Amino acid sequence: METKHLIAKGKTGKKQAINEAAALLAKGEIVAIPTETVYGLGANARDEAAVDKIFKAKGRPNDNPLIVHVASKEQLFSLVRSFPTYVTKLIDSFSPGPITYVLESSGKVASNVTAGLSTVGLRIPNNEIALMLLEQTNLPIAAPSANISGKPSPTTAQHVLEDLDGKIAAVLDGGPANVGVESTVVDCTEETPVILRLGKITANDIKQVVGKVKLATNIKESTQTPKSPGMKYKHYAPEVPLILVQENNKLQEIIDEEVQKGYRVGVLASSPNGTELRADQIIILGNDEEEMAAKLYHALRSFKQNEVDIVVCESFSRKGVGKAVMDRIERAANRII
Ligand code: AMP
Ligand code: MG
């Protein structure tokens, strides 16, 4: 299959690209779409056969449910049963935005979207092109990240093509994603909201609106049966193994140890720390948490097998979205020392 690269740029270009993407989705094809978090791989959430193509293209395990993207609050409510009153407050405060609500499903999406669960994950993305596309199709669009399962999520159309060229009908190119890490996933089926996956919307943000919030007890563990099934899988990993260093004053020592073993070493660091280190390849993510989140996945994809053998990564600030960044790095890491 030839994958179309639809560039949504300029007034007429945008409209044309969106029309074409919408037509493909309506026909049951799968199309990668830009969102503010990462690129999603979209399919009509009501069409079981279309949704199945997502699992096949990504190599995604069938027990990992997909997030359904909608254009409006009204469309979101049409897909759920009853819910606690705080849900409306959360939606009014944070949507459109990088947050997914897990709610009791009204059964209007295909069963493979929810991996047979009674709940459905719903999100209104805060991206102009995604919203125009959702309005145009007038369909709920199931869309996990548009990468091969296990790899870093895509933050540009180029990343999508690296992984999925020839396997999907099209990529709708809306430029780079500006948040850079996946949405916060919140279980809203109980009296207290529970964070299942960390993202830009923090526990504190949610607490300020609802008054209470919990972090899923298994958010760090990868072997139990988690409430958010996706979190048990290995994620976000670069092509080469990654060592996360907890004490940043030991970074150079650990780099040198790997060099002595004969390895070519890549480093992921913040500025200004990174400028003082010596290694074969150094990628500096920046110095504020938002900039680091936006650059993280591109950096992880930049370490190539033919250039470095191992990546040594600094521990970054956990302030704001930094906590989600560190969560993703911990999941990508082969070793934490
Ligand atoms: P991705 O689409 O790759 O960003 O991953 C979506 C995340 O949302 C995964 O961790 C899923 O397990 C989680 N998720 C989606 N739908 C549900 C649901 N109904 N219940 C719990 N977690 C969900
Ligand atoms: Mg994903």
Residue 92 DSSP symbol: H
Indicate which residue's Cα is closest to atom 11 of ligand 1: 230
- The bound ligand whose nearest atom lies closest to the alpha carbon of 152 is 2
262: CA distance to ligand 2 center in Å? 34
What are the φ/ψ torsions at residue 81 (nearest 5 degrees)?
A: -85, -145
Atom of ligand 1 nearest to the CA of 145: 3
Cα end-to-end distance, the chain, whole Å: 44
Residue whose CA lies nearest to ligand 1 atom number 9: 230
List, for residues 195-214, the tens digit of each pLDDT value. Answer: 999 999 999 999 999 999 99
SS3 state at 53: helix
> Per-10-residue mean pLDDT for the chain, 337 residues long?
96 96 98 98 98 97 96 98 96 98 98 97 98 98 97 97 98 98 98 97 98 86 51 78 96 98 98 92 95 98 96 97 97 94
pLDDT of the residue at 287: 86
Task: Specify the pLDDT at position 223.
Answer: 38
| pTM of the shown model | 0.95
Neighbours of ion ligand 2 (CB under 5 A): 145
Measured between alpha carbons, how far is residue 304 from residues 200, 207, 300 in Å? 28, 41, 9
Any residues with CB less than 8 A from the CB of 112 and at least 6 apart, and which? 48, 51, 52, 55, 62
Which of 118, 185, 187 is the pocket-test mutation for ligand 1 (most atoms within 8 Å of CB)? 185
Closest to 51 (Cα-Cα) out of 179, 183, 60? 60
Ligand nearest to the CA of 228: 1
pLDDT at 222: 43
In the numeric block, the tokens 């009296």 are attached to 191
Mutate to test the pocket of ligand 1, among 30, 58, 196 (most ligand atoms within 8 A of CB): 196
> Which protein residue's CA is at the shortest distance from atom 16 of ligand 1?
121
| DSSP structural state of residue 303 | -
Q: From the CA of 149, how far away is ligand 2's center (Å)?
A: 7
- Going from the Cα of 9 to the center of ligand 2, the distance in angstroms, rounded, reads 26
Ligand 2 centre distance from Cα of residue 174 (Å): 19
Local structure of 289: helix, strand or coil = helix
**Where does ligand 1 bind, in terms of residues with CB under 6 Å?**
64-67, 102, 114, 117, 119-121, 144-145, 182, 185, 196-197, 227-231
Residue ID of nearest Cα to ligand 1 atom 3 = 144
Q: Round to whole Å and give the CA distance between 262 and 247.
A: 23
Q: DSSP labels for 111-156? A: TTTTTT-SEEEEE----HHHHHHHHHHTS-EE--BSS-TTSPPPSS
Query: CA–CA distance from 33 to each of 41, 97, 174, 312 (Å)?
Result: 6, 15, 8, 32
| pLDDT score recorded for residue 291 | 97
Per-residue model confidence (pLDDT) at position 225:
44
Ligand 1, atom 2: nearest CA belongs to which residue? 144
Nearest to 337 by CA among 246, 258, 249, 253: 246
The predicted pLDDT at position 231 comes to 59
